[in-house]
Amino acid sequence: MQWTELLCCPRCRSALASSGSQYGCTNDDCTLATQPFLSAGDQPVLIDFETSIFHPDAFMDGRGASPPRDDTGRGFASTMRAVIWGGKNRIAPRIAEDLSARLKGRRPRAKLLVIGGGAIGAGVEKLYDGSIDITGMDVYASPHTRFVGDAHAIPLRDESVDAVWIQAVLEHVLEPSLVAEEIHRVLKPGGFIYADTPFIQQVHEGAFDFTRFTLSGHRWLLRDFEEIESGAVGGAGTALGQSIRYTFRALGLGDKIATALTLPFFWLRFLDPLMARRPNADAAAGVFFFGQKTGRGIGARDMVDYYERQTAAPMRLRNRARQTLPIGSPVPAQRV
């Protein structure tokens, strides 16, 4: 099936009718059916504006609700940040490789929805090599999206995708639990989810930044999924480097000066691989979860155990041990 055949009304989830690039809800009882959806370029804007933080005016001239992000990492600030923090999420590329191996070769091609996928995230190019039928969904149209949507009401049919990738997005939504439910709904049984989300990080993207998650909080948010792997993204050293920069910034010094003053602390990130897993997760810059829709989630009573069983081995050693596992090996049994 084509992505356009999987689209549905963000309010009533009925099928859409299209004529050219115009889409409309086919349910006569739906209040969104009275007029066609807006479009951004040739992509439908499938947002229920009555419940969304976004305003239709932002799309009236065919633009998006937010300007396309520069994820190329070539600007001054990005370069300096890369020097200070290593600038890289080391988990996402490894999971992208794992997920790609699990999905490729399927006929028809497996479908992967990247929420917040208006720009291609650094290090996850592997997902875009053509072996997976991938589309981004974002609040603006880009060459990597096929429709504009709000993750609180994903305009896709139930059980329509094989995997969802949601990286550094859940902090930007008003109701993360609603988004988690939506991801669960659109995933096929056995479908995969990868999420990474900030923990110790300062406000970014201004007005559109609402929430942070501990490792346990993130696990609970995604409790309906069975875990394949979870942990810290960017350790406590990275988080401290960021905190130093934002402390200078809080003095009113401006981004460039604050970044320059933080340069002497570049070495902090090299401490990350040495850190023990649990205390590092207690202070990490972000957390991640890679899991599967199997019907075996985690219950309230298992949450203490989830925290306790984070091992004390340094991340570097854990990663080395993990690399010996064959890719695509069965989901490890959970003690839940």
Handedness of CA 235, 238, 241, 246 (dihedral sign): negative
**In whole angstroms, how close is the CB of 38 to Zn ion at the nearest point?**
14
Task: Answer for the pair 41, 141: CB distance below 8 angstroms, yes or no.
Answer: yes
Smallest separation (angstroms) from Zn ion to the CB of 28 = 9
Min dist. Cβ of residue 39 to Zn ion (A): 17
Residue with tokens 């996850």: 124
The residue (of 30 and 244) whose beta carbon lies closer to Zn ion is 30
Query: Whole-number minimum distance, CB 5 to Zn ion, in Å?
Result: 17
User: Is the separation of the CB atoms in 140 and 120 below 8 Å?
Assistant: no
25 or 80: whose CB is closer to Zn ion? 25
Helices in 42-161 by DSSP H: which ranges? 76-85, 91-103
Q: Do the strands 286-292 and 187-198 form a parallel or antiparallel pair, or are they unpaired? A: antiparallel
Of 9 and 95, which CB lies nearer to Zn ion in the complex structure?
A: 9
Question: What distance in Å separates the CA atoms of residue 99 and residue 291, rounded to the nearest whole number?
Answer: 10
Supply φ then ψ for residue 59, to 5 degrees. -110, -5
Of the pair 27, 243, the CB lying nearest Zn ion is at 27
Closer to Zn ion by CB, 9 or 240: give it.
Answer: 9
Give min distance, CB of 33 to Zn ion, in A.
6
**Single-letter code of the amino acid located at 121:** G
Residues that bind Zn ion (CB under 5 A): 9, 11-12, 14, 25, 27, 30, 32
CA-based end-to-end distance of the chain: 36
